[in-house]
């Protein structure tokens, strides 16, 4: 019987792409860089995703991600802008300006709080994630938050999940389920930790990593009924 839910934040509970689009455009405005089209944000998003995937595989560090994604983006767009550190600091703040929930997830988590212990598990920066959780109201209904910046390890490493599992209380691994959209971060991490794995997969993308998935949903609200079968 499941007693604990570990929620990924960006891409699962929250629509990260919507926040990303807003934050990039806002930074262009604040720094006077010029016009930022939707197509430009789409290209940035692909670059950003590439560097986070490299981080998850242990090939680069988080500071590398935060710097190199914008460096590559500006070079690829032919934009002469070098104050990357200042822009990135502002970007972390702007990511929390507006909250976009997937599938009315706030109300879902609120309802599930009567049945489960619930925690956030995220690889985002502390500055961005703490603000998102505060502005969204999620920090008030979750039982705890685990951010890789605070822990010192990233999902999907065993070290990240060792900290989580040792902190949430005395539960069996078959009583804990992670819910996330990323195969390489959330599901791989759940596999590494030996806990149950729920993949949030609204687009129906194939599992090409040969990972164990115990439950898959296209809409988060499917969870309310499906969790009762475990």
Q: Which residues are marked as active site?
A: 8
In DSSP notation, 93-151 reads HHTTTS--BSTTHHHHHHHHTTT-EEEEEE-S-HHHHHHHHHHHSHHHHSSEEEEHHHH
Q: How far apart are CA 92 and CA 228, in angstroms?
A: 37
Burial of 192 (0-12, 13-18, 19+ CB in 10 A): middle
């Amino acid at each position: 019987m499941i007693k604990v839910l570990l929620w990924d934040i960006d891409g699962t509970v929250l629509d990260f792409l919507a926040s990303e689009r807003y934050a990039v455009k806002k930074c262009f405005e604040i720094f006077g860089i010029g016009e930022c089209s939707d197509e430009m944000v789409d290209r940035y998003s692909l670059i950003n995703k590439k560097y986070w995937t490299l981080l998850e595989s242990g090939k680069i560090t988080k500071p590398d991600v935060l710097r190199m994604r914008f460096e590559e983006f500006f070079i690829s767009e032919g934009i002469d802008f070098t104050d990357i550190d200042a822009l990135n600091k502002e970007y972390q703040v702007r990511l929390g300006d507006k909250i976009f929930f997937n599938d009315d997830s706030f109300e879902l988590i609120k309802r599930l709080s009567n049945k489960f212990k619930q925690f956030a598990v995220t690889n985002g920066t502390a500055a961005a994630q703490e603000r998102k959780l505060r502005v969204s109201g999620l920090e008030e209904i979750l039982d705890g938050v685990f951010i890789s910046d605070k822990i010192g390890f990233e999902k999907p490493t065993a070290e990240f999940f060792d900290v989580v599992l040792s902190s949430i209380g005395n539960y069996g691994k078959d009583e804990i389920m992670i819910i996330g959209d990323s195969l390489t971060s959330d599901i791989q991490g759940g596999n590494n930790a030996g806990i149950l794995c729920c993949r949030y997969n609204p687009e129906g993308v194939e599992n090409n990593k040969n990972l164990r998935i115990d439950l898959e949903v296209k809409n988060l609200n499917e969870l309310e009924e499906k969790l009762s079968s475990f």
